[in-house]
Amino acid sequence: MTAAQPRGSLLRGRWIDDWRPEDESFWQSTGKRIARRNLWISVLSEHIGFSIWSLWSVLVLFMPESTYHIDTAGKFFLVSVPTLVGSVLRLPYTMAVAVFGGRNWTIISAALLLIPSILAAIVMHPGTSYTTFIIVAIFAGVGGGNFASSMTNINAFFPEKAKGAALGINAGGGNLGVAVVQLLGLLIIATAGTGAPRILLGIYIPLIVVAVVCSALFMDNLSSVRNYTGALKEATRDAQTWIISFLYIGTFGSFIGYSFAFGLVLQNQFGRTPLQAAAVTFIGPLLGSLIRPVGGWLSDRIGGTRVTFWNFVAMAVASLICIGASAIDSLALFTAGFVLLFITSGIGNGSVYKMIPAVFRTKALAASEGRGWDQEAALLWARRTSGAVIGIAGAIGAFGGLLINLAFRSSFQATKSGTPAFWSFVAFYAVCFVVTYLVYMRRATAATDPTTGRRMSYAEV
């Protein structure tokens, strides 16, 4: 069998036994082409997964209170439910790649998206009980799990030098699903009105089938990922896992939380109609998604730690802009501040995910120098552990989206304004940039990169 030649039938799965992305000759001759093919199909499936995960943030725009009898607090809670379920599912989804194979699990996870889509098409009409809506929204959480398995899978395909850009493209393309489903919702409300939510579901059901078929035909499983089954347990014992996961609450938690809440905030704080809100809500997720690969690309060049630190400073400033705009009742300034939050959360998503493999690789190389570990074994440990951390951080980060929606819910219940929630966000971002500085920018841990011969510290990763 030649290097990187898939074995197995279409039904049993396409497995690649020989995968050496850090071998430059292998990467240039064979690996890059295969990795990119898997990346683009992964983006397609993850993109649709994000759309289904954020589906209820759009469907609530089709649910006027006078018709569906669900108040603002009820709608915030409704859109929070998929966030919670998706965050919980990210842990088993991460390990599913090692159990089933990346290609095989992508087929399964994409097919599961049919369940919330079909159920929503059945129940979306006035007279359906609030409990029924909650139950159906729970199933939409499967779309959130797709991100973790997709990122873990793609992380295994690419060499260290290309991980920042590859993970950024994969995540950014997936994140775009939030903006696209909101834009489609806008077009439907503008043309058919708020009484036609099933048109949106009629668009996504066949797209899910396309994603399943493309995953089966064009993706591959890596046999080496089978060795990752114990990585989750190892990762939970490492303090770096929890520090990075905390930082990811600040970036991805913000992105998904604001994506779900933006339309409701505009309606309830500035009196926008569903159509007026929908005309704006897709802009933030769109820009945040498009710029995420830039965060990864920038981190590849100047270091994820530096990008992450200054990005949290910018997120705190953007929150203060929203607070100031609320005080003077300026919709234009508020929208600008909110969109800036999306942009900075997108950059931070890319930089924090670049930090994950880089931090563990630096740690492994330092251990091979200081403790006499075999360098090859140390790098294998870093690859296995970082794949698990990607899933853990994704799960905990997504939980931040729930916290943001609950913060807005409490804020509007108490004051009819989102200002108290924004003050809590400012405080959290301040803690995040302090943690980034103390843990990574001041740490002296360093190791020699065997590829370049340079001494690398956490501040450079």
Write out pLDDT tens, residues 391-413.
788 888 888 888 898 899 899 88
Q: How confident is the model at residue 372 (pLDDT cuts 50, 70, 90)?
A: low
Looking at residues 331-358, what average pLDDT do you find?
90
Does residue 118 surpass a pLDDT of 90?
A: yes
Buried b (16+ CB within 10 A) or exposed e, 349-369: bbbbbbbbbbbbbbbbbbbbe
Looking at residues 76-93, what average pLDDT do you find?
89
Would the CA dihedral through 352, 358, 361, 365 be positive or negative?
negative
Is beta strand 221-222 parallel, antiparallel or unpaired with respect to 446-448?
Answer: unpaired
Is beta strand 15-16 parallel, antiparallel or unpaired with respect to 221-222?
Answer: parallel
Contacts with 391 (C-beta within 8 Å, 6 or more apart), sequence order: 90, 91, 93, 94, 95, 148, 149, 151, 152, 232
Strands (E), 193-279: 221-222
Rounded to 10 degrees, the C-alpha dihedral 433/169/215/136 comes to 40
Does residue 447 surpass a pLDDT of 50?
A: no
Residue 382 vs residue 456, higher pLDDT: 382
CB 63 within 8 A of CB 75: yes
Residue 171 vs residue 207, higher pLDDT: 207
Which range scores top for mean pLDDT: 77-86, 161-170, 277-286? Answer: 77-86
Q: How confident is the model at residue 389 (pLDDT cuts 50, 70, 90)?
A: confident
pLDDT value at position 8? 56
pLDDT value at position 99? 87
Does residue 292 surpass a pLDDT of 80?
A: yes
Residue 83 vs residue 45, higher pLDDT: 45
Does residue 90 surpass a pLDDT of 60?
A: yes
Is beta strand 446-448 parallel, antiparallel or unpaired with respect to 455-457?
Answer: antiparallel
pLDDT value at position 256? 87
pLDDT value at position 3? 53
Among 12-26, 195-209, 306-320, which stretch is predicted with the lowest mean pLDDT? 12-26
Q: Rounded to an integer, what distance in angstroms lies between the CA atom of residue 3 and that of residue 145? A: 32
Residue 1 vs residue 75, higher pLDDT: 75
CB 6 within 8 A of CB 16: yes
pLDDT value at position 2? 46
pLDDT value at position 7? 61
Does residue 441 surpass a pLDDT of 60?
A: yes
